[in-house]
Structure 1
Amino acid sequence: MVSAYTSNGSEGETEKINTNIVTLTRFLTEEQVKHKEATGDFTLLCHALQFSFKSIAYYIRRATLVNLTGLAGSSNTTGDDQKKLDVISNDLFIEAMRSSGKCALLVSEEEEEVIYFKDAKDARYAVACDPIDGSSNLDAGVSVGTIFAIHKLAEGSTGTKEDILKPGTELVAAGFTMYGASAQLVITMKGGSVNGFTLDNGVGEFILTHPDMRLPKKRSIYSVNEGNSLYWEDNVKEYFNSLKEAKEEGGKPYSARYIGSMVADAYRTLLYGGVFAYPADKKSPKGKLRILYECAPMAMVFENAGGQAVDSQMRRLMEVVPEHIHDKSGIFMGSWDEIEKVKSFHK
């Protein structure tokens, strides 16, 4: 820490300035050094991802000023009306992956088919992403985000659909960026910890602000769209009804917190604990959220932070194999003890 002059230039009052700043760039480089077999390709891919997150954050901040909100006039593969920012963010993501030269194929929520980058001859990674999750909230200024998942190609593969139709246990890295009052990036790698970064717009860098994030083991908070309760299965109804009853130990029911933007709900749950759920129901028997670029990467983050993530059949979400690139699932994720409670209602 060093002393610095105050803003009016007078000596006397000083502010403490931290000069030992860990940026995402530095963090990735230091992680690379720990692996002797590392070629640097993964680090370069992450730098390309980082650039796309910064760009999306910039456009979201300016969205209303330059009229980027509103519908773009087409629908994506899952039937959602596309926003102008959805289209821009998708294009940014595609170009960032193409130009990195390290991505062989990309799955995006906005694209019906897999995008192959055949010019990337030595690329060894496959990426899945939801460029802007929660985009229906954009016009209301609610936090939205980007979710990403990185797989490594099978030995000898030049990039096929099978390289990405894998369970979450095969993921190399995953995470999400939330664009709110500030841009927050959460990233984790296979067998590693979960680390949170905040975008400092002044220097244009993601700064490590939440090292080694850990979920509280339990917390009396639940997050779910209760507007769907009419379609829920009986055991799901019983579980959520039980949370509204006063508990003997504290005498209070659970607090309800639902934003309606998965990234924002997940980030809050990661920080404070509790449970986030989007169960499968009679209206959506397979669930609503996509496995490859929503459920699996979130499950990896929550597991590496000491929590759990399961589908509506109480299977570990990290072990669920998607049948196709836009396959869906129900999800319950959160603090370890809270998910154990969910399981107890499904036995």
Structure 2
Amino acid sequence: MTDTVAAIREAVAAAAPEIRSGLPGRRETAGTENPSGERRLAADEYADELLEERLGRIDGVGAYASEEREGVVDTGEGCAVAVDPLDGSSNLQPNNVMGTIVGVYDAELPASGHDLVAAGYVLYGPITTMAFAREGTVTEYLIDDGESTVLNADVTLPADPTVYGFGGRVPDWPADFAGYVDDVESELKLRYGGAMIGDVNQVLTYGGVFAYPALQSAPEGKLRLQFECNPVGYVIECAGGRSSDGTGSVLDVDPTSLHQRTPVYLGNEALIDRLEAALD
């Protein structure tokens, strides 16, 4: 499994420059929707097809799934890889930050967050970086020309949190969550860019809290458990923070379907503890 995880990380790093360089010519809609009912861009399809081809041929990868596909692709024997190929692709039109998320599960999908053996994300910002978690440690890499160089071998959330970013429309927030926002916005600086992975990376860098809460119109939230919440929650927990679905670790959420959604709250332990108390 150690060799397989290393191969997965290297394959994602190698694919990242190709995904990035393919964005300018793929800003148009593909004319189809993903299984969650969201319009896909040509860039979503391109990134998904590229990652399926690269990850599916790795020895030890037995299944590939992404939020762009209805079901799981059988690729042989071994672990299951769940991918958000282009997180925040709606940011392509205004040229804002995007990313790629990957979770490596030692179980058939849909799987529990506790079945993760590794997870990480690529961030397409002014430079391309990767945060990758394995065995309780998060490593940050610089990706240049498909090669990865360690920038920080042990990433942890700063003890003194600085930023917050919350998704969903404010009028759609439940009253208890809105009360929590009123409490923390006087302490922290707003950083919200419309791509989960960009906002979470701000929290990982500066400390703070990210949330895409349960909404009045969507009590299950927006983000998907297998492809976004579990992998990123795993990264945050390995970095010394906490994840939550509002009652406990998002990794504890019982998986019922491949494209299942869940509310998600990520950040410094004290801020997530306060949030759960506010939602009780």
Do Structure 1 and Structure 2 share a fold, with TM-score over 0.5? Answer: yes
1:239 aligned to which of 152, 167, 180:
180
Counterpart in 1 of 2:63? 105
Helix, strand or coil for the counterpart of 2:49? Answer: helix
Q: How many residues align?
A: 280
Asked whether the equivalents of residues 233 and 251 of structure 2 are also in contact (C-alpha less than 8 Å), the reply is: yes
1:146 aligned to which of 91, 96, 100:
100
Asked whether the equivalents of residues 218 and 336 of structure 1 are also in contact (C-alpha less than 8 Å), the reply is: no
Asked whether the equivalents of residues 195 and 208 of structure 1 are also in contact (C-alpha less than 8 Å), the reply is: yes
Normalising by structure 1, we get a TM-score of 0.77
Counterpart in 2 of 1:326? 259
Structure 1 residues without counterparts, runs of 5 or longer = 1-37, 154-162, 246-252
Counterpart in 2 of 1:294? 228
Equivalences for residues 115-154 of structure 1 within 5 A: 115-117=73-75, 120=76, 123-153=77-107
2:139 aligned to which of 161, 185, 195:
195
Helix, strand or coil for the counterpart of 1:55? Answer: helix
Q: Distance in 2 between matches of 1:116 and 1:244?
A: 46
Structure 2 residues without counterparts, runs of 5 or longer = none
Deviations 1:223-269 (A, max 9, x none): 113x6221222211111112244xxxxxxx43211111101001111
Quote the RMSD (CA, aligned, Å).
1.6
1:307 aligned to which of 241, 248, 262:
241
Deviations 1:53-95 (A, max 9, x none): 23213323xx1xxx22111111111111111111110110111
Normalising by structure 2, we get a TM-score of 0.94
Asked whether the equivalents of residues 63 and 78 of structure 2 are also in contact (C-alpha less than 8 Å), the reply is: no
Q: 1:39 to 1:220 in 2, by over 3 A?
A: closer
Q: Distance in 1 between matches of 2:87 and 2:9?
A: 20
* Higher Rg of the two aligned structures: 1
Asked whether the equivalents of residues 51 and 96 of structure 1 are also in contact (C-alpha less than 8 Å), the reply is: no
Asked whether the equivalents of residues 200 and 206 of structure 1 are also in contact (C-alpha less than 8 Å), the reply is: yes
Asked whether the equivalents of residues 13 and 147 of structure 2 are also in contact (C-alpha less than 8 Å), the reply is: no
Q: Distance in 1 between matches of 2:72 and 2:60?
A: 16
Counterpart in 2 of 1:50? 13
Counterpart in 2 of 1:180? 125
Q: Distance in 2 between matches of 1:300 and 1:237?
A: 26
Counterpart in 2 of 1:74? 32
Q: 1:331 to 1:73 in 2, by over 3 A?
A: same
Counterpart in 2 of 1:96? 54
2:111 aligned to which of 166, 174, 180:
166
Shift of 1:220: 4.1
Equivalences for residues 218-297 of structure 1 within 5 A: 218-225=160-167, 228-245=169-186, 253-297=187-231
